[in-house]
Amino acid sequence: MVDANRSSKKSKPAKSKLPATSVRDFRGLLEEALSASDAYGRKWADARWGVYAFYDYDGEPIYVGQTNEKLRTRIRRHLTNQRTDAVAMRILDVFEVAEMRLWPLWEYETLTKKGDKEGYEAARKRLDAVEYAAYLRAIEESRFHAILNEKIPPLSHPVKLPPSQGFPLISADTRKERGHPDVRIARRAETIARLAAVAHERGEVSEGLRRVLVIQAVRLAHISAVRLAYVEGRPEPSASAIDVEGLVGTVLYEPSDPRGRKDKDETETEEEEENGGLENE
């Protein structure tokens, strides 16, 4: 006789309960950030046009991007869906993202390409300029004076950054677990290996991807040297010991395309552009 208890089916767990605790913590804080409002009651991430930046566990800027399809959509594509080239090609490691900052451009909320083509193109130039300003700020803040963008934003005239807001994306427990130097060294080495494999397997990759490979190697060398100095009881070595510009050249503009447009992955698809940006959540 079949045991009724054995034959009965177990209930399926909720999908939200399946990820590891650190992943659930990360996504919970991300949802809090995406739901946060400014002094006018507008959710920062609801802006359709805007610029964003990601920072690692040391507060080091690692990536800057732009969107006109909605900030929350683009952020989720990077950090939860992992449906962007930057993540898929191992340029940006979501494991390393500990904070983000958003610069919404609220003035373009109702703008569409079909409704005002001239205004739309002016807005695109403004978006490029704000992204470039945020990129330059990240370069200045970085101890290496370099970040992990495969494509440097188009060279633009200096503009003042609009109001922004920063958000933490990791809990104290996650920082304790993932923030240990040995964990980060191992993870960064793995990221470099995967990125190098992409370059090897694809063969024909962008100059920017190879530049990112060097910058990631610099980041690995520095965190490893800091760890060595710590265990030997020596002062922490300066990041200036590594001449990044001497290794990769200028990071202030794309040498092969200083004023060019971004890859489609970094803006939006032609279909989205025609529809004035889409929300794909």
pLDDT in tens, 16-46: 777 788 899 999 999 999 999 999 999 999 9
Domains in the chain, number: 1
Q: Which domain holds residue 224?
A: 20-253
Q: Is residue 144 part of a domain?
A: yes
Q: How crowded is the C-beta side of 49, counted as CA atoms within 13 Å? A: 23
Cross-sheet strand order for the sheet of 99-104: 61-67, 50-55, 99-104, 165-168
In a domain, 277, yes or no: no
Pairing of strands 165-168, 99-104: antiparallel
49-86 per-position pLDDT tens digit: 999 999 999 999 999 999 999 999 999 999 998 778 88
Q: Is 7 within a domain?
A: no
CB contact at 8 A, 215 and 188: no
Residue 29 lies in a domain: yes
Q: Would you say residue 1 lies in a domain? A: no
- Give the DSSP H/E element, type plus range, for residue 62: strand 61-67
pLDDT band for 276, please (50, 70, 90 cuts). very low
Segment among 89-93, 179-183, 206-210 with least mean pLDDT: 89-93
Contact 95, 20 (CB under 8 A): no
When pLDDT is averaged across residues 229-241 and rounded to a whole number, the result is 97
Q: Is residue 275, in this structure, part of any structural domain at all?
A: no
Please check whether residue 259 lies inside any domain of the structure: no
Q: Are 170 and 85 in contact (CB under 8 A)?
A: no
Q: What is the pLDDT of residue 264?
A: 47
Handedness of CA 121, 82, 172, 186 (dihedral sign): negative
Question: For 89-107, what is each residue's pLDDT tens digit?
Answer: 889 999 999 999 999 999 9
Looking at the predicted structure, is the pLDDT value of residue 248 above 60?
Answer: yes
Q: Is residue 4 part of a domain?
A: no
